[in-house]
Amino acid sequence: MGEFELIRRYFLPLAGRQKPRSLILGPGDDCAIQRIPSGRDLVFSVDTLVEGVHFPRNYRPDHLGWRALAVAASDLAAMGADPECFTLALTLPVVDELWLEGFACGLKSASDAFGLELAGGDTTSGPLTLSLQVHGTVEQGSGIRRSGARPGDLIAVSGTLGNAGAALDYLPDPNPSADMLAVLEHYHRPWPRLDLARAVRQYANAAIDISDGLLADLGHILAASEVGGRVESARLPLSPALTRLKGDMAVDYALRSGDDYELCLCFSPENWERAPESLKSQLTVIGFVEAEPGLYLDGVDCRLEAVPAGFDHFRRHS
């Protein structure tokens, strides 16, 4: 199968479904063309996934398709952006139609779920690698940045933490228990918090998606905002499945694993007060921001831990 046939068969069905279309020209020309509505800014981010590094070898292609777009879309959520479209740079070792069907199917589910239309891409031969760039828009001046946290802000997180990190231990298990399946679902099918992020953007001072672990990512907010923070481990939201599987270690997963793609947000107490209950019910306050730099967990400074040790993306799933 040629490259053009491959694109036509598997990837063109992901283009041209969004209404109203911001894409003036989709896949098939030298470039795609997008019209940004007046009064809005383009917001974009690229994420790469490498086989054996960011996902295991022989990982199910439908899970990979979903996960790749979810991981990228999570950065749009972290800015409070409205999703628009994405490009796919796909490097494949061989043209395996069964694999491509599964991959395109998972990608299409995610594309539909997140409202991201395929705008273009590049298909090349080589070790299995994916780079997805997502495009969204925000009202001019309204993107939530990492640098907006202020002393006194409450620190909150969405959902429950640590599930996808724990799931890595169970990926090879041929007969996973119900609890294992519950945490595995977080790994295979993460849901970027796009809806929550849009609802929260008028209230939050700062946001980041938790891709490297709570301590590391909260550390990025504190560094960018030139402030410090205190977190209480007893407040961390944990799923019952994670608690049953990992016992006392559950908190460590919640602090250090990031594959759930939940959000970490900072709110002034006044804005937190004003925010609707429907929104606050999706969040858990885990600590607060203070002027003095440092990141204290249960009173112990763990700033050094918050900086990923070395080249973090060298962490391997082999």
Which residues within the stretch 121-150 sit at the binding site for a copy of itself (CB under 8 A)?
121-127, 129, 131, 133, 136, 138, 140, 143, 145-147
Q: Pick the stretch among 72-80, 174-182, 246-254, 279-287 that binds a copy of itself (CB under 8 A).
A: 72-80
Q: Pick the stretch among 101-109, 166-174, 203-211, 230-238 that binds a copy of itself (CB under 8 A).
A: 203-211
Q: Pick the stretch among 104-112, 117-125, 253-261, 268-276 that binds a copy of itself (CB under 8 A).
A: 117-125
Smallest distance from a copy of itself to CB 128, Å: 9
DSSP secondary structure code for residue 291 in this structure: S
71 near 313, Cβ under 8 Å?
no
Smallest distance from a copy of itself to CB 175, Å: 31
Q: Which of 57, 248, 311, 318 lies at the binding interface for a copy of itself (CB under 8 A)?
A: 311
The size of the chain, in residues, is 318
As a whole number of Å, the CA-based R_g of the chain is: 20
Smallest distance from a copy of itself to CB 119, Å: 7
Task: Tell me the DSSP string of 5-20.
Answer: HHIIIIIGGGSS--SS
For residue 6, report the phi and psi dihedrals to the nearest 5 degrees.
Answer: -60, -45
Residues in 79-108 that interact with a copy of itself by CB under 8 A? 79, 81, 87, 89, 91, 95
**Token pair 């043209």 is at which residue?**
95
Does residue 24 touch a copy of itself according to CB under 8 A?
A: yes
Residue type, 221: I
Does residue 209 touch a copy of itself according to CB under 8 A?
A: yes
Contacts (Cβ under 8 Å, ≥6 apart) of 219: 295, 303, 306, 307
Does residue 46 touch a copy of itself according to CB under 8 A?
A: yes
The DSSP bridge pattern shows strands 300-301 and 294-297 to be: antiparallel
Structure tokens that stand for 14 in this block: 């992901």
Q: Pick the stretch among 50-58, 149-157, 254-262, 289-297 that binds a copy of itself (CB under 8 A).
A: 50-58
